[in-house]
Amino acid sequence: MNYNYLGYTEDRQIVKGRISASNERAAADMLTNVGYRVVSLKPITAFIPNVGGFLQAKVKPAEMVTFSRQLALLLGSGVGIIQALELLSSQTTDKTLKRVLIEVVNDLRGGKGLSTALAQHPHAFSTLYCKLMSVGEQTGSLEAVLRSLADYTERQTAAMAKIKQAMMYPAVVFCLAIAVAAIMLTVLLPPLIDMFSKLGGQLPLPTRMLLAGMGFLESYGVYLLVVIIALIIVGFLYTRTPNGRYYRDRLILRLPIIGRLSLVSELARSCRSLSLLFRAGLPLPEVMALTARATGNRAVARALGEVEQDMLRGQGLAKPMSKRKVFLPLMVEMTKVGEETGNLDDSLIIVAENYEIEADRRTQTVIGMIEPAMTIAMGLGIGFLALSVFMPIYGALSLVGG
């Protein structure tokens, strides 16, 4: 859920903005974590989404990886933080990142801390990023934190790239099939039907079925299009609400084949986030809250929030996880081992690597299934259109020959 906040920093500067969190307490905790004293926190209940948020340019993950690695290198070489940021702002080709870095430098010259200045730009620096930078400031390990963030972002970007690559082939095949169908229906079929009708023959069944479908679309296509667009708009607006997004994400996790792939991908990201934050020295309740904030699936985020609440009641981490089906047995068992041995961060990394391997394997399986399925579907569709077009030709030739 989104909240408008008003607060002030440690040096008494007023700050205000918007933050997303599972509940009001989590939002207050996140603001406190970045050094803000909260004065007011109000939920945003508007049904229509904020158009400005969609139009605001975001920094590409690849740019963030490069920025983090370069900043770590400069800091490791002894360059001051302001000089390093000025140098990176002058070198970057991303206009949004350049503008953000210039504003961050101005805030630093005005006396703000680095994590506080970065938190002013949530479209570029996530809550998780800012919190880890705050930890790095306090512990003097900014260079190590930046390298860890670069590795983390790089893995997330690689996972998303694989999914996009998997969807490229079906999208191209579908577009080509639509183009072929449009040409056959608008260019080839009409003159053939006119010729066949003049010869007095009866159209074949596939052609009659196709014409009936085209007639229906011609008569009611506009109404059908309006209904489809209205349903899409209503569905989109509903998924922008907290409940709508939660039910959509829960449905995704229950889909055959895709559901398991989405779940292991989300759990892999969550395990890496938990390990990264825990290794940085943050307390576990705060780690859970930040991980829930960082995950892209609201069903997983809600489950993480519930585990956090049970953990605060003294139930540990593995036991609350075992009560929720969204957490798979490997994650529960390895979390239990990590709690007992004191190596929770290493245990979670092992889980993340296992789930990433499974996600890669399932992605390849889905790709292998999509290609023949699309080929068969497109073949049947084009075959039906071909019969509808060429059967009248043979019928017309037989009529002429007779």
Q: Quick one: average pLDDT of 350-372?
A: 83
4/90: higher pLDDT: 90
pLDDT tens digits, one per residue of 112-145: 888 888 888 888 888 778 877 887 887 777 888 8
Strand 37-43 relative to strand 2-8: parallel, antiparallel, unpaired?
Answer: antiparallel
pLDDT tens digits, one per residue of 19-29: 766 567 667 77
Instruction: Give the orientation angle of helix 344-401 with respect to helix 189-198, to 10 degrees.
Output: 30
Q: Quick one: average pLDDT of 309-332?
A: 90
Q: Where in the chain is the domain with CATH 3.10.20?
A: 2-45
Q: Where in the chain is the domain with CATH 1.20.81.30?
A: 59-155, 166-402
Residue where the block lists tokens 């570029």 = 124
Question: Rounded distance, CA 145 to CA 151, Å?
Answer: 10
pTM higher than 0.75 for the full model?
no
What is 2-45's CATH topology?
Answer: Ubiquitin-like (UB roll) (3.10.20)
296/251: higher pLDDT: 251
Name the nearest CA neighbour of 392 among 216, 178, 188, 220. 188
Mean pLDDT is highest, among 36-40, 263-267, 280-284, for 263-267
The amino acid occupying position 44 is I
Give pLDDT, residue 46.
Answer: 46
- In CATH, the architecture of 59-155 is Up-down Bundle (1.20)
Q: Is the dihedral of CA 289, 295, 298, 300 positive or negative?
A: negative
What is 166-402's CATH topology?
Answer: Receptor-associated Protein (1.20.81)
Between the two ends of the chain, the Cα-to-Cα distance in Å is: 74
pLDDT tens digits, one per residue of 204-217: 787 788 778 877 87
The amino acid occupying position 42 is K
Average pLDDT, the chain: 81
Question: Cβ distance 110 to 3 under 8 Å?
Answer: no
